[in-house]
A and B are shown apart, each in its own frame.
Chain A
Amino acid sequence: MIDVKHLTKRYGDFCAVNNISFQVQPGDVLGFLGPNGAGKSTTMKIITCFIPPTSGDVTVGGKSILDDPIGVRRQIGYLPESAPSYGEMTVGEFLQFIAGVRQLDTAERVRRTGEVMELTDLESVSNQLIDTLSKGYRQRVCLAQALLHDPPVLILDEPTDGLDPNQKHDMRLLIRRMSERKTIILSTHILEEMEAVCNRAIIIANGNIVADTTPEELATRSRYHNVVTVRTSVGGLEALLGDLRGMAGVAEVQEELGADGHTATFHIFPRGNALITKDVTALLDQRGIAVQELFVQRGRVDEVFRDVTLAQPHG
Chain B
Amino acid sequence: MQSALTIIRRELFSYFRSPVAYVFIIIFLISTTGATWYLGKFYATNEAALNSFFFFHPWLYLILIPAVGMRLWAEERRTGTVELLLTLPISMFTAVLAKFVAAWIFVGVALLLTFPMIFTVYYLGSPDGGVIVTGYLGSFLMAGAYLSISCFTSSITKNQVISFILSFIICLVLVLLGWGVLTETLADIFPIWIADLISRFSFTTNFDGIRRGLIDIENVVYFLSVIVFMLFMNVVVLENQKAS
A residues neighboring B (CB under 8 Å): 11-12, 45, 48-52, 70-71, 73-74, 76, 78, 80, 82, 84-89, 93, 97-98, 100-103, 142, 145
Which residues of chain B have C-beta atoms less than 8 A from A103's C-beta?
2-3, 89
| Residue on B nearest A84 in the bound complex, by CB | B80
Since A50-B87, A52-B243 are in contact, a sample of 19 more A-B pairs with Cβ atoms closer than 8 Å, ordered by chain A residue number, is A51-B242, A70-B89, A70-B90, A70-B91, A73-B89, A74-B89, A76-B87, A78-B84, A80-B80, A80-B83, A84-B80, A84-B83, A86-B81, A89-B10, A89-B13, A93-B13, A100-B2, A101-B2, A102-B88
Docked CA distance A2–B242 (Å)? 22
Docked CA distance A219–B187 (Å)? 81
* Contact of A82 with B3 at beta-carbon distance under 8 Å, contacts A52-B243, A102-B89 already known: no
* Contact of A87 with B243 at beta-carbon distance under 8 Å, contacts A70-B91, A101-B90 already known: no
CB distance from B102 to the nearest CB of A (A): 13
| Residue on A nearest B88 in the bound complex, by CB | A101
Docked CA distance A205–B143 (Å)? 51
B residues neighboring A (CB under 8 Å): 2-3, 5-7, 9-10, 13-14, 17-18, 79-81, 83-84, 86-91, 242-244
| Residue on A nearest B7 in the bound complex, by CB | A101
Q: 22 interchain pairs (CB within 8 A)?
A: A50-B86, A51-B242, A51-B243, A70-B91, A73-B89, A74-B89, A76-B87, A78-B84, A80-B87, A82-B80, A84-B79, A84-B80, A85-B84, A86-B10, A86-B14, A100-B3, A100-B9, A101-B2, A102-B88, A103-B2, A103-B89, A142-B84
Which residues of chain A have C-beta atoms less than 8 A from B13's C-beta?
89, 93
Selected contact of B6 from candidates A87, A100, A142, CB within 8 Å: A100
Could you say which of A11, A52, A101, A103 has the most chain B C-beta atoms within 10 Å of its C-beta? A101
Judging by beta carbons under 8 Å apart, are A48 and B89 in contact? no
Judging by beta carbons under 8 Å apart, are B88 and A73 in contact? yes
Which residues of chain B have C-beta atoms less than 8 A from A80's C-beta?
80, 83-84, 87
Which residues of chain A have C-beta atoms less than 8 A from B2's C-beta?
100-101, 103
